[in-house]
Amino acid sequence: MLKDPKEPLFHTTILQHVYVHTFKYGSMSLTLAPHLPKTFLAKFKEKIAAATGYSWVIDVVAEGGGQSLMEQTLSEHEIIKQEFIALPTIQKLLKKFPQTTITVEE
């Protein structure tokens, strides 16, 4: 949604340095990595409002936040991969072709 081909660094920054605590449409609370510029939050609000047509309420929490959006995505991909590998048919294929590498892509 916020992926702008003119600003790939901004999208990457969101994925790697924004930690979401709570989310519902129109509202979220998050923690920002401490090294982000002070202008980041305003730009983030501007981009999300432009993408959704709605003015969002965004609360910044000082501590915590768990995983970044990138870490959440990687964790989800690993779960999908492990479930796939556990399938009996895939197990048979992996026995016949042990050098096989399985990756999960969007």
Give CA–CA dist 52/29, Å, rounded: 17
Tens of pLDDT along 2-15?
A: 666 677 788 888 88
Domain boundaries, the chain: 8-60, 69-106
Contact call for residues 62 and 34 (beta carbons, < 8 A): no
How many percent of the chain have pLDDT more than 70?
A: 92
Contact call for residues 104 and 77 (beta carbons, < 8 A): yes
Hey, which residues does 24 pair with through a beta bridge? 27
Tens of pLDDT along 67-100?
A: 787 887 777 778 788 888 888 998 998 899 989 8
pTM for the whole structure: 0.62
Position 57 scores a pLDDT of 94
